[in-house]
Amino acid sequence: MPKLQSPLASPLGVVTLAGAVAALLTPWTITIPGISGGANFGVQTPGAWLEVIAVVGAVMLARLDLALIALLVADALLIAWYAWAVWVVTTPAYSSLGFPFVGTDLVGPGWYAAGAAVLAAAARVARRYRDSDLHPQREVWALSAIPGAGLLRLDRQPRALFWGTLVVFLLLVATLASPLAPLFQPLSGFEDLPSAPPTRAGTWVPLVLAVVAAIVSVADTLWTKRRLAN
């Protein structure tokens, strides 16, 4: 059995654990009028349980390579959930309502709580690598999948904080620009959909910028690694 360590051993572990608990106790999808079913809480969602197990494993597994694998699984699940939301709003059940849905309209606070847990876990794993005697290798590539984590591995903390904060900020802006306001929708949902906005640019622009920022963060990480190697 893999050797484990307490998630309470570091502040980042505590943040990860708090985010994981919040992800289970809050909705991952919100209620959309005209669509059957209501908000789905994390405890009702198998994907949320897998996410929590993976992200908690990232801070509890003592072996760094196993912790990194768990972290990447948690990150992949988080991205997959968002991609599912982007796809599902294009299906007839949503398109027939005459409202210009964007995937972020469905993403509830549970996803963001899990995202906070992944960021904290990534910082924990990156710092463990940084404080080890290991020379930066392939783990830098892997950690760069989480904005800023690869740079933190390379001990570039200000830039790591910048990229991580920028991507989170843009995702929050995209969510808050939604007429449905997923982060603040009451648990009972709304009786009717709001009027269709003339444009969804306020949501699409920060979403696209978040993707661009994440890609540039990867490029910055790999450029820094190459520069250090030289």
* Model confidence pLDDT, tens digit, residues 56-115: 999 999 999 999 999 999 999 999 999 999 999 999 988 888 889 998 988 889 999 999
Residue 41 is classified by DSSP as E
Residue 97 is classified by DSSP as T
pLDDT surpasses 80 at 230: no
- Between strands 40-41 and 27-29, the pairing is antiparallel
Strand partners, 40: 29
Q: What is the pLDDT of residue 115?
A: 96
Q: How many CB atoms lie within 10 A of CB 204?
A: 14
Q: What is the pLDDT of residue 22?
A: 96
Delimit the domains of the chain by residue range.
8-229
Q: What is the pLDDT of residue 12?
A: 93
Task: Return the structure tokens found at 148.
Answer: 């800023």
Residue 192 is classified by DSSP as S
- Local confidence band at 6 (pLDDT 50, 70, 90 cut-offs): confident
pLDDT surpasses 90 at 156: yes
Residues 6+ apart with CB under 8 A from 156: 224
Percent of the chain with pLDDT over 90: 63
Angle at 177 between CA 109 and CA 204, to 5 degrees: 100
Among the residue ranges 29-33, 92-96, 203-207, 217-221, the one predicted with the least confidence is: 29-33
Q: Which amino acid is at 54?
A: A
Q: What is the pLDDT of residue 83?
A: 94
Task: Return the structure tokens found at 64.
Answer: 């760094």
Alpha carbon separation from 194 to 33, 97, 100, 102, 168 (Å, rounded): 10, 11, 11, 14, 26
Radius of gyration from C-alpha coordinates of the chain: 19
Q: What is the pLDDT of residue 180?
A: 80
Alpha carbon separation from 94 to 91, 100, 107, 204, 230 (Å, rounded): 6, 9, 15, 18, 53
Q: What is the pLDDT of residue 38?
A: 66
Among the residue ranges 1-15, 52-66, 198-212, the one predicted with the least confidence is: 1-15
pTM, rounded to two decimals = 0.91
Residues 6+ apart with CB under 8 A from 85: 29, 103, 104, 105, 106, 107
Tell me which H or E stretch contains 126. helix 109-131
The phi, psi pair for 188, rounded to 5°, reads -75, -10
pLDDT tens sequence across 157-198: 999 999 999 999 999 999 888 888 777 766 555 667 788 888
Strand partners, 61: 4
